[in-house]
Structure 1
Amino acid sequence: MREHRRLLDGQLDQLRKQRFRSVFHLHGVEEVESASVQIVRRECDRRTDRGPFDLIGDVHGCAAELRELLERLGYSADGRHPDGRRVVFLGDLVDRGPAIPETLEIAMNLVCARGGIAVLGNHDAKLLRWFAGKNVKLVHGLEQSVEQLEGCSAADLHRYRLFLESLGVHYLLDGGRLVIAHGGLAQRFHGRTSGAVRAFCLFGDTTGETDEDGYPIRLDWGSEYRGEAAVVYGHTPTLEPAWVNNALCIDTGCVFGGSLTALRWPERTIVSVPAREIYCDHG
């Protein structure tokens, strides 16, 4: 019995590490018999959100281009749209670019005050670790975020941290016809929550190894995707967005001198604005 108890305790710890939001440990027969099961919709299940949406790729602190893109999409200066459209950010609001605090302010207004949606990107997640006092290396653009945020008030830093902490890593939208995640998401993970799902959403499908620059080596998950839901994502800079098996990457590398791109949903039309300059070398 003691060995069984030890094994069970170890498995419970593994469940917590897999980022299950709640793990219930029942002690004794009375607790088991009095327990009840309540079905709760997962936070990633937002199928009742129907849009119309304007999905925006990796901003990386390019606030000027973001404002220009929003204007082209028909949004007013305060984030309202005459047709009731809503913005959806696909992650990586921060790092590398020239205006991280301003970008966060724009995103927070659109999400918190105008009903927009945002998912967490891998750069956003790393900034959260810095907020939490973790030992993170100031590389790959995090140094720009930290330098700019150090000039902000404690109250603003607290607001930015709470906002990023509130973001999920993927959502099912529009009756399940649309899935959003920063790094994309294989069909088997749609609507699920676990450590593996979170890793895929943040980094895409990877080999578990890194290249000479310290970046994860990525696999082309989209070439094998066969799901009915459209998956729209960012993370991997591309020159031009192109649908592959009902999956679309709209990170067009604005911070590297490319463009900032939006996908209008459900129209499936592309709107882009060019970068005003090269803010960061792609290396």
Structure 2
Amino acid sequence: MARRRAEAGAARPPVDRRDDAGPFDIIGDIHGCFDELVSLLKTLGYEVDPLPPGEGLGAARHPDGRRVIFVGDLTDRGPRNVDVLRLAMGMVASGTALAVCGNHDDKLRRYLAGNPVVLNQGLDLTAAELERTSQTFRDAALRLIEGMADYLWLDGGALMVVHAGLREEMFGTTSGEVRRFALYGDVTGEVDENGMPVRGDWARDYRGEATIVYGHTPMTRVRSVNRAICIDTGCVFGNALSAITWPEMRVMSVPAAERYRVARRPLEVPDTAEILPAETA
């Protein structure tokens, strides 16, 4: 496994990209669901190359120059974690995708850096796949995650993309507190009856002008409240993989091929008035 690296002190990638207006296709939590990712990209109009043999990186491009933004949690729990990494690595390297860091990505970063982590919550599956790859590939995967921003502030300030959430007063700032909120959301420090962290619904209190697109909290449908849009629709739990286009605000979804993992708590069901209708493949 990769050599140990320092946990603190590394510079984070820039988060202020307000000069970048897109257009973008923002994709929710993938969690190793490679087949559904390819299907969603094609539904969105991308040309997706077959993965090359061995450890070669994937490629996908849109004929109109659109770019993907991955909202974090690329791996864990699903069946093809390394293949998701290969495609994401190739797209980010070629400039056809951007990515923000999720809590699962950050834990994978620590694992790849040789720091002690508990192999649970699906990381055990990702680690088993990675053990069959070369050190060169694992180092490249580590660089991908190290290059992920905590959040991306885009399109003149009109769009914020983050994994778990962000308060308006945090926009444009960086700190340990901001990073924790961006990766984990409004956690209370308590756990529920399923042993899962209790999360406050920060979106209910959001009153900013920017649209925030985030994931992290699996929903049965894409949910929009106070310009905060959750696009994690629990693909790995057998529901769907979803994306939202910017600036058009079209929701696209593809159904999960199967339920790869049983959710420890039920997916959240948005109120009817909060559901954004999706076009399905």
TM score, norm. by length of structure 2: 0.85
SS at match of 1:243: strand
For 2:101, which of 120, 125, 145 is the aligned residue? 120
133 and 212 in structure 1: CA distance in 2 versus 1, 3 angstrom threshold: farther
SS at match of 1:236: coil
SS at match of 1:262: strand
Structure 1 match to 2:71: 90
Residues 19 and 194 of structure 1 are in contact (CA less than 8 Å); yes or no, is this contact kept in structure 2?
A: no
* Unpaired runs of at least 5, structure 1: 1-16, 23-41
For 1:231, which of 204, 209, 212 is the aligned residue? 212
AA of the residue aligned to 1:66: L
5 Å matches for 1:160-179? 160-179=141-160
Work out the number of aligned pairs and report it.
248
* Unpaired runs of at least 5, structure 2: 1-6, 49-58, 265-281
5 Å matches for 1:152-163? 152-163=133-144
Residues 243 and 253 of structure 2 are in contact (CA less than 8 Å); yes or no, is this contact kept in structure 1?
A: yes
Structure 2 match to 1:38: none
Which segment is superposed worse, 76-85 or 96-105? 76-85
AA of the residue aligned to 1:255: V
Q: Provide the rounded CA distance (Å) in 2 between the counterparts of 1:143 and 1:189.
A: 33
Residues 92 and 121 of structure 1 are in contact (CA less than 8 Å); yes or no, is this contact kept in structure 2?
A: yes
Residues 22 and 155 of structure 2 are in contact (CA less than 8 Å); yes or no, is this contact kept in structure 1?
A: yes
AA of the residue aligned to 2:37: L
Residues 18 and 196 of structure 1 are in contact (CA less than 8 Å); yes or no, is this contact kept in structure 2?
A: no
AA of the residue aligned to 1:121: G
Deviations 1:175-211 (A, max 9, x none): 1100011001111111110000000000001112233
Q: Provide the rounded CA distance (Å) in 2 between the counterparts of 1:173 and 1:65.
A: 27
Shift of 1:44: 0.7
Residues 207 and 219 of structure 1 are in contact (CA less than 8 Å); yes or no, is this contact kept in structure 2?
A: yes
5 Å matches for 1:1-283? 21=11, 43-77=14-48, 78-283=59-264
Q: Which has the higher helix share?
A: 1
Q: Provide the rounded CA distance (Å) in 1 between the counterparts of 2:98 and 2:40.
A: 17
Deviations 1:40-99 (A, max 9, x none): xx8110011111000000000000000000001000023111111000000000110100
Residues 58 and 234 of structure 1 are in contact (CA less than 8 Å); yes or no, is this contact kept in structure 2?
A: yes
Q: Provide the rounded CA distance (Å) in 2 between the counterparts of 1:143 and 1:113.
A: 29
Q: Provide the rounded CA distance (Å) in 2 between the counterparts of 1:68 and 1:245.
A: 30
Residues 100 and 162 of structure 2 are in contact (CA less than 8 Å); yes or no, is this contact kept in structure 1?
A: yes
Shift of 1:276: 0.2
Q: Provide the rounded CA distance (Å) in 2 between the counterparts of 1:181 and 1:222.
A: 13
Shift of 1:155: 1.0
Q: Provide the rounded CA distance (Å) in 1 between the counterparts of 2:194 and 2:122.
A: 13
AA of the residue aligned to 1:232: V
Which segment is superposed worse, 153-162 or 228-237? 153-162
Q: Provide the rounded CA distance (Å) in 2 between the counterparts of 1:214 and 1:104.
A: 29
AA of the residue aligned to 1:45: D
Residues 205 and 218 of structure 1 are in contact (CA less than 8 Å); yes or no, is this contact kept in structure 2?
A: yes
Shift of 1:235: 0.2
Residues 66 and 96 of structure 2 are in contact (CA less than 8 Å); yes or no, is this contact kept in structure 1?
A: no
Shift of 1:275: 0.2
Q: Provide the rounded CA distance (Å) in 1 between the counterparts of 2:9 and 2:167.
A: 19
Q: Provide the rounded CA distance (Å) in 1 between the counterparts of 2:219 and 2:9.
A: 31
Q: Provide the rounded CA distance (Å) in 1 between the counterparts of 2:236 and 2:197.
A: 20
Q: Which has the higher strand share?
A: 2
The structure that has the greater radius of gyration is 1
